[in-house]
Amino acid sequence: MKDRMKFCLSMLDETTIETGRPKFNTMHNIVHIDEKWFYMTKNRNYYLLDEEEEPTRTIQSGASIGKVMFLTVVVQPKWDSEGNVTFSGKIGILPFVKEVPAQRKSDNRPRGTMETKSMKVNRKVMREFMIDNLLSAIQSAWPENDVGKTIFIQQDNAKPHILPNDPKNLAAVESIVLDIRLIQQPANSLDLNGLDLGFFSSLQSLTDCVSPRTFQDLIQGVLEEFENYEVYKLNRVFLSLQACMIENLNHAGGNGYKIPHVNKERLESLGVLPLRLACPQEVYANAIHNLQLMEC
C-alpha cells in the first residue's frame, strides 16, 4: 500500500503542489509495456432462435488452440495547439514468434517448411527482445522535439521482466541517442498500467471479430487492429489511469475501489477534455498524512 501511494504521488507535477490544486504530469514520456496472449479462437456466447441449430466446434483440447503473445508498447498521445495529432502514442505491438522448420510432413506442407511458432518467454528472451526490438521501436517512433527528454519504460513485476539495473540493457541504451530508463510499477497494481486498465480489453474486443486460420492471419489481424485503434480512445485510457491514481491515494494505497468514470467522451465532444487531471487538495493532504503514519 505504501509503495502504491509513493508511486502515485511521484506522478504529480511538483510545480502545482503549492498552488492548492496538484495536477498530474502529462504522461507523454512514460512508455507502458505489457504482454498479452491473443488466441486463434475462443469460447463465445451465441443468441439463437428456437429453430436454429447450435454451432459446433471440434478441437482436440484447449491446449491445441493456437495463441501468440504480444508485447504492447504505448504512451499518451500528443496534439498541437490546433488539435492535430502530432504523436499517436502507438509505438508498437510486437509478437513473440520465431520461424522454425517443420519436423514432419503433412497434407498441407512438406517436411522442412518454415513455420511460425509462438515463443516461450523467459527473462533471457525478454532481454533480447527489448534490446533488439523494443529500443529500436521507441527510437524510430519517438518525436524529434522530445529526443532530449528522459523516457521511462513502465513495466509490472512479472518474472520474465528484466530489472531496471540490468547491465546488458543499460549498455544497449547507452548506444542510442535516447535517455531511456526502466521503472517498476508496484506489485498487484493492474490499475496503475494503462494497458491492463482498458487498452487490452478494448483491443481484444476488436480482434475477436477476426477469424484467423493461421498464425500469420492472427498476427496480421492484431497488427491491423492496433494500427487502426483510435488515438482518442488511447488518450482516455491515460486519463482513466490518473483517475485511478486519485482513488488509490484516497484509499490510503488500497486498490479496493471501483474504477471511476469522469465522462471523458462528453468532455471530449465539448472540447474541454483536459490533458491531465487535478488531484483534490484534501485527497493529497490525507495521502501525505497517511504515508507519514505508515513510515513511523
pLDDT at 43: 64
CB distance 40 to 212 below 8 Å? yes
Confidence band of 141 (pLDDT split at 50, 70, 90): very high
Q: According to the model, what pLDDT value does residue 261 have?
A: 83
Fold for the domain defined by 2-38+65-294: Nucleotidyltransferase; domain 5 (3.30.420)
Buried b vs exposed e over 210-236: b needs ≥16 C-beta within 10 Å?
eebeebeebbebbbebbeebeeeebbb
- The arithmetic mean of pLDDT across residues 227-245, rounded, is 92
pLDDT digits (tens, 9 = 90+) for 71-130: 999 999 999 888 899 999 999 999 999 888 888 888 777 888 888 888 899 999 999 999
pLDDT at 136 over 90: yes
Percent of the chain with pLDDT over 70: 95
Per-residue pLDDT for 12 more than 70?
A: yes
Whether 155 has a pLDDT exceeding 90, the answer reads: yes
Structure confidence at residue 62 as a pLDDT band (50, 70, 90): low
Lowest mean pLDDT among 118-122, 137-141, 213-217: 213-217
Q: Per residue in 176-189, pLDDT tens?
A: 989 999 999 998 88
CA distance 140 to 231: 19
Task: Please report which confidence band the pLDDT of residue 54 belongs to, taking 50, 70 and 90 as the band edges.
Answer: confident
Average pLDDT over residues 254-261: 85
> How far is Cα 268 from Cα 270, in angstroms, rounded to an integer?
5
Which of the 8 DSSP states describes residue 92?
A: E
pLDDT tens for each residue of 111-128: 888 888 888 999 999 999
Domain-by-domain residue ranges, the chain? 2-38+65-294
In the predicted structure, residue 288 carries a pLDDT above the cut 90: yes
